[in-house]
Amino acid sequence: MIRFRTVRLLALGTLALTGCAAGGAAPAATTPPPRAVAPLLSAGFPPAAERARAQLAGLKVAWGERWRTYDRKKFGDGWSDATDAPGGRNGCDTRDDVLRRDLDELRVGDRNPCVVLSGVLHDPYTGKRLPYSYRKASRIQTDHVVALGAAWRAGAWAWTPQRRLAYANDLDVLLATDKDANFDKSSKTPDKWLPPRAAYRCAYARRWTGIKTKYALSVSPPEKKALQTLLAGCR
């Protein structure tokens, strides 16, 4: 496992969030409208079902490559704001951007509204209600929906370091999720893992396809078949 300043746990391209940043007391709290700091998702993302079906049809189909050469460090050391991906260069830590976007009942710092003090995640993968507190360890993790290892096998091995850094910090790629589901998912593709909460599977397929399209990543034959089946039932 690899440790970072605000990241405690890594599992094949998925990063864990803890309840407290390193050192110091929590900033004073305020309660602004949620998602108030900056737009935290690209316009039109994830794609609607019809668009996702068209995008999937256009993706390159190929088996994964160079899986033995995958190294998390090739996507940068931890979170970075120094990218032009959604959420980049806004002065906030990537993991705080994810929390601010995905948590309800949000409370952020007064002096630093980037910092999330508390909130509640209604986990998309499991449907669990997960509380978050700045001062406490959390069961909430940040998931790269298409994990870094999966992206590597699908074409990221050929990218520049800056493009890989952007991918690792792109808010379109990231979701706050339940820790256990995140570990179970690891770097599996949709033919091998789907969210336990069936009601989210259409959204998951749309998001997965949107990410693969945005970054021109390939899909394996079984992965494409699984996505086709999922998207066929989405409206």
For the stretch 202-211, pLDDT in tens is: 999 999 999 9
pLDDT digits (tens, 9 = 90+) for 3-58: 333 333 333 334 334 333 333 445 555 444 434 444 566 888 999 999 999 999 99
Taking residue 180's Cβ as centre, other Cβ atoms within 10 Å add up to 15
3-state SS record for 37-63:
CCCCCCCCCCCCHHHHHHHHHHCCECC
pTM: 0.83
Phi/psi of residue 121, each to 5°?
A: -100, 125
How far apart, in whole angstroms, are the C-alpha atoms of residue 68 and residue 212? 21
* Residue 61: other Cβ atoms inside 10 A: 12
Cis check: omega of the bond before 86, within 30 degrees of 0? no
Q: Which two tokens stand for residue 68?
A: 């033995």
